[in-house]
Amino acid sequence: MKRMIVGVMVGASLMVACSQNSIGNQAEAEDPTENEEVTAASILEDAKQAHEDIQSLEVSMKERNQFDQTENATLTYHFDDGVVYYENELINEKIYKDSEETMILNEYIQLSNKEEQLRERYIDKKTEEHQNPLAYYQQFDDAFFDLFELSEREDFYVLTYIGEEESQKALIEGFADSFIAYSAQITDTELEESTVNDPEISSFSSFSFDIDKDTSMIKGYEIRSSFIIDVNGFENDYDFDGTYLFANANEDVTIDKPDQDEMAVGNLSFDDQEQYEQEAFDYVDAVIQANIYQNVEEYVERAPTGSEEEKREAGDAEQQSFVELYAMALAVDMEEFGVEDEKLMELSESMLSGYSKSEYMILDSKAIAEDTFHVTVSIQGLSQIDLSRELDLVLTEKMMNGEITEDSSGDEVADAFIDSLDTIYDQNISLNEPRDVIVEVNRAGGDYMILDHTSYIDGFVNGY
C-alpha cells in the first residue's frame, strides 16, 4: 500500500513539475527551432534567406582568368540602386555601372565593342553571383544544398562541397561563364547561338563557404576546378581558381562615379572624343554611300564636315575614283575581248549597280588614339558565287541563241554582259552572311580620311 501511495505522489509531483516548467519557460517552448538539428542544408538555406535582403557589399576577389593569369580585384555594390564599381589591379582597369550607363576605364588598351560587351557581361554575372551566391549556384542544381558536409570554427560554419562528377558538371556553367563567353567570341558566334558541350572535369578540388554563426551572412567562399570545355568546336582546358572575401555587408559603403574624362584617349576630353567618334562613324557611312552605292546625294547628307559644296565635290571624287578603280580591275578580266574604255566604264557602272542591293550597318566607332578611330561595319555583300553562277547561265543561253558568237566584238560582248546583269539584278539577289569589318579612319585638321578602303570594299565585292 505504501508503495502505491509513493508511486501516486511521485507521479503527481512530476506532473506538477512539468506543468510549472511549461509555464515558467513559455517563451522557450514557443521557439520551434530550439531543438531543431543544425545541418549543412539548413545553414545554407538560412544564409540564402539572409542574402535576399542584402543592400550593399564589398568583395575582395582573386581569380584565374582565361589567359591563366591571377587577377586581384575589388567589387563594391549598392544592390538596391543597381550600382557596382570594379577595380582590377593586374590590368589597371576600372568599371563603373549603374542603371543608365557602363563606364570602362583601362589605362593600357582600348577595348573593342565586343570586348566591352564581354566586360559588361562579366560585371553583370558577378553582381548576380555575389548578391546571393547560394541562390546563384542553386539554380544550376536543385540538390545543391544537399551536397555539403558541415564543420565548425569558433564564429562560423564551414560548408564543404562533396558532390560527385555529374553534380560538379552542372555547376561549371555558373563559375565558367566568362570562359564560355570568351570562347564564343573566339569562334565569332553570339553566345546565345553557341553550342556548349558537356564539360570534362579534370579536378574539382575545392568549393566551400564560410558562414557567420550569428548573422547567417557569407564571410567568403572559394572554388578550385580544372575542366575541358568545348564551345562551337573550340576546345580548351581551363584552371579556375577563385577566392571571394565579403566585407561591410549592409553598411554605408561609398561608390564615387569616375570622371568621364578618365575614359578619353590621350589628351582628348570625353566630349571631344564622343564628337570625333560620331563624326568618324558618319564619315564611313557617307563614303560607303558614295562609292559602293554610287549615291553622291547621300554622301552630302551624311558627311560630318565641310560646306555643301565641299561635300559634293568630295562625294563626286569618291564616286568617280571607285568606278575607275573597279574598271581597272575589270579591264584585266575583259582584256581578251578588247572592250573599249568607254564601254568598259559602262560595264563597270552596270556591275556596281547591283551592289546597291547589299546591306550594311555601322555598329560602333571607337577612338584608339587622339587622331585614329576604328569604325566597325557589319556587311552583307552580294554572293559572288551565286552571281557568277547566274551570269554563266544567262550568258550560255545567249550563246546558244546566237546573241553572242565568236565573231562578236568586245563591245557586243560587254553589251551582253550588261543585259545579263540587268536580268539578274531584277531578281532576288543572294547575300552573304553578315561579316564585321573594321575601317580605320584618320582625323587631321578637322577632316577625315580612310587610307585603306579595301577593308570594307572586300566585304561588298569579294565572295567569302
pLDDT band for position 278 (cuts 50, 70, 90): very high
Q: What is the mean pLDDT of residues 411-425?
A: 82
pLDDT in tens, 122-162: 999 999 999 999 999 999 999 999 999 999 999 999 999 99
- Of all residues in the chain, the percent with pLDDT exceeding 90 is 48
Tell me: pLDDT of 72 over 80: yes
Specify the pLDDT at position 23. Answer: 35
Higher-pLDDT residue of 70, 131: 131
pLDDT in tens, 10-64: 333 323 333 334 334 444 434 444 456 889 999 999 999 999 999 999 999 999 8
Specify the pLDDT at position 31. Answer: 43
Specify the pLDDT at position 25. Answer: 41
Tell me: pLDDT of 7 over 70: no
> Helices (H), strands (E): how many in the chain?
14, 14
Specify the pLDDT at position 215. Answer: 96
Which of 80-89, 352-361, 396-405 shows the lowest mean pLDDT across its residues? 396-405
The Cβ-side half-sphere exposure at 155, using a 13 Å CA radius, reads 5
Cell of 273: 572624343
Q: What is the mean pLDDT of residues 316-344?
A: 81
Tell me: pLDDT of 106 over 60: yes
- Spatial distance between the Cα atoms of 192 and 184, rounded to a whole number of angstroms: 9
Specify the pLDDT at position 462. Answer: 67
Tell me: pLDDT of 229 over 80: yes
Q: Minimal CA–CA distance to 284: which of 263, 302, 311, 261?
A: 302
Q: What is the mean pLDDT of residues 211-218?
A: 97
Tell me: pLDDT of 97 over 70: yes
Higher-pLDDT residue of 426, 312: 312
pLDDT in tens, 337-361: 777 778 888 888 888 888 888 899 9
Q: CB neighbours of 311 closer than 8 A, spacing ≥ 6? A: 286, 299, 300, 303
> Quick one: how far is CA 73 from the chain centroid?
20
Q: What is the mean pLDDT of residues 402-420?
A: 80
Element (H, E) at 49: helix 40-51
Q: Is 99 helix (H, G, I), strand (E, B) or coil?
A: coil
- Spatial distance between the Cα atoms of 324 and 344, rounded to a whole number of angstroms: 10
Per the listing, cell 548573422 goes with: 215
pLDDT band for position 120 (cuts 50, 70, 90): very high
Tell me: pLDDT of 439 over 50: yes
Specify the pLDDT at position 4. Answer: 33
Specify the pLDDT at position 26. Answer: 40
Question: C-alpha distances in angstroms, 381 versus 143, 183, 357?
Answer: 51, 27, 8
Cell of 267: 589628351
Higher-pLDDT residue of 173, 383: 173
Specify the pLDDT at position 427. Answer: 79
Which of 40-49, 220-229, 231-240, 304-313 shows the lowest mean pLDDT across its residues? 231-240
Question: C-alpha distances in angstroms, 283 versus 279, 290, 380?
Answer: 6, 11, 19
- Spatial distance between the Cα atoms of 130 and 75, rounded to a whole number of angstroms: 9
pLDDT in tens, 160-177: 999 999 999 999 989 888
Q: What is the mean pLDDT of residues 316-324?
A: 90
- For all residues of the chain together, what is the average pLDDT? 85
pLDDT band for position 3 (cuts 50, 70, 90): very low
